[in-house]
Structure formats: C-alpha cells, structure tokens
Amino acid sequence: MFPDEAGDDNPNLVVSVYQMETAIFSGASTRTELSQLCSRFNFAVYDSDGTRIRQVNQEIGDKSFGTVGFQLPEGKYQVVVVGHSSNGNPTMTNPAKIQFKNNQGFTDTFLSNNYVEIGESEVSLPVSLSRIVSLCRFVITDPIPANVAQIRFQYKGGSGAFDAATGLGSVNSIQKASFPVESGHESTSCDLYTFLHAEEGTIHLQVTAYDANENIVNDREFDVPLKRRMITTLTGPYFTGTGTSGITIVIGINPDWEGEEVIKY
C-alpha cells in the first residue's frame, strides 16, 4: 500500500520538480506549467540494494502535483522521478526496468535519477527532469479511404521499459498503438514513442489499416532510423504509395526537442 499523493507526514526528504528540459518552475503557476508537459508524476525511493521501499503517484489536479515528502530511516537512497502522460502508471519495482504497457500508451517521458543520504537533518531535493524518449511521427499525406476506421502500429527495436540510471531501453519490446481516423481527412499524423537501447537505433514498423469490422484494408512495413531525444517524421502517401525506395532525409530544428528528421516514403 502506497501513501496518498502528498506523501508522508513529517517528512525528512522533500522532493520537488523544479525543471523539465529548459522550463524552470517557480511561484504560483508551477503546477499549471508542469501540466503542459505531463499529466502524471511517479516518485520512487529505492534502498542501497535496489529494493523499492516507497512510491507516490500523482496526477494533474492533485494539490501537491510536483512535490512529495518521504519519512525515511537514516541511510543512502536512490530517488527516481518519472513524468509522462500515459493512461496509467509504469511498473517501478525494479529501477533498472521501469516499464510501461501497451494498454497504457507510450507518451513523451521525462526522467530524473538522484542519490541522496538521509541523516539527522531534513533533505530538500529539487530535481530536473530530462526527456528520454525518441519519437516516430507517422504522417499519411493522401486522403483516408471511406472504408478505413482505424490505423494500428506495431513496432520493435526499441523498448517499452528503461533503466533509471541511464534512461536507455532495458528490454526488447513489441510496442503497439492504435488511432481512430476520419474518412477523407488528409495529412493524418500519429505519434509513436520508444526508449532506444542506445543513442541511435532502428525500429521495424508495421502499419495496418482496418475497417469498422476489423478487416485489413492496407498493410505496409518500414524500417525507421531514430535518435534519442529527437523526432523522426515519416511522411508520404500510405494508401496510394508503394515501397520505401528513394528515401530522403531532411534535417530541421524543433525547439521542444533536440532536432527533427523528415523521411519521405
């Protein structure tokens, strides 16, 4: 049983999110600013053996969103803070395998990993969270056919779990995501997130269009190069195009990420 979103009474360790990427938070608007980047925070404390001893999960609307207090015995601890907007909380039993599930969804994710020693005095720990995901943005430039109701993605080569010490992927996952689509709509965009095992990697992406009765209308596969903390936009005519030859890469700058690559299929 974990405590409520505020943490323990009379804490001797107070953890506060003060920065996410380049945004520094202070003053009365703190919770509003934090919520622009994520809707959930997970705070976990592990002892020197890597055993999780405390965890607090917070959501937008919680009074203490972004700050939590723990009452801990004297000793050395690892403190992990994860910020994200998934539909559920990751499994945090093992700090080397913090894992999201397909049914929760994969989103922009931020991490702070810290080591503290608790003695006789209260410890205040302001933490800065950094982005640890890669984003594949799949853009369909031709109109959605009348009989297509949903686009489903299955991809492997990345990970749905990460190591808190490095922020890198720590398992070999088959990740899945699905998006409803609107008939006739052009320039449909779907965002797919993963934790790479290194600074660069390639995912094998299967993109399948279904009708309302779960029948397959179209099915294509792509190998997509990704970089950590960067966006790779894969764009082209999905329904009328064929193959993936003639790929060109255009580098652009997105101020919210370290960069963006555009690949036309």
Interval 187-225: pLDDT, tens: 899 999 999 999 999 999 999 999 999 999 999 999 999
Say yes or no: 119 and 23 in one domain. Answer: yes
CATH number of the domain encompassing residue 179 = 2.60.40
- Higher-scoring residue by pLDDT: 171, 23: 171
Note whether residue 3 is domain-resident. Answer: no
**1 falls within a domain:** no
Q: Examine the pLDDT at 246 and tell me if it is beyond 50.
A: no
Give the domain-ending residue among 112, 131, 150.
131
pLDDT for res 23: 45
Range with lowest mean pLDDT among 28-32, 95-99, 118-122, 168-172: 28-32
Domain end among 107, 131, 155: 131
One-character DSSP codes across 182-248: -TT--SEEEEEEE--SSSEEEEEEEEEEE-TTS-EEEEEEEEEEEETT-EEEEEE-TTT-----S--
d(CA 5, CA 61): 10
Question: Do residues 160 and 116 share a domain?
Answer: no
Residue 86, Ramachandran bin (φ over 0: left; ψ between -120 and 50: alpha; else beta): beta
Mean pLDDT is highest, among 32-46, 53-67, 86-100, 112-126, for: 86-100
- The mean per-residue pLDDT over the stretch 104-129 comes to 94
Q: Looking at the whole model, is its pTM more than 0.95?
A: no
Q: Which of 131, 160, 183 is the last residue of a domain?
A: 131
- Asked whether residue 7 is assigned to any structural domain, the reply reads no
Q: Is 206 inside any structural domain?
A: yes
Is there a domain that residue 5 lies in?
Answer: no
CA–CA dist 256, 25 (Å, integer): 16
Please tell me whether residues 104 and 154 are part of one structural domain: no
Q: Which residue has the higher pLDDT, 261 or 170?
A: 170
Tally the domains of the chain: 2
Q: What is the span of the domain harbouring residue 188?
A: 134-264
**pLDDT: is 137 or 247 the higher one?**
137
Sheet holding 216-227, edge to edge: 174-180, 150-156, 200-210, 216-227
Answer for the pair 220, 152: CB distance below 8 angstroms, yes or no: no
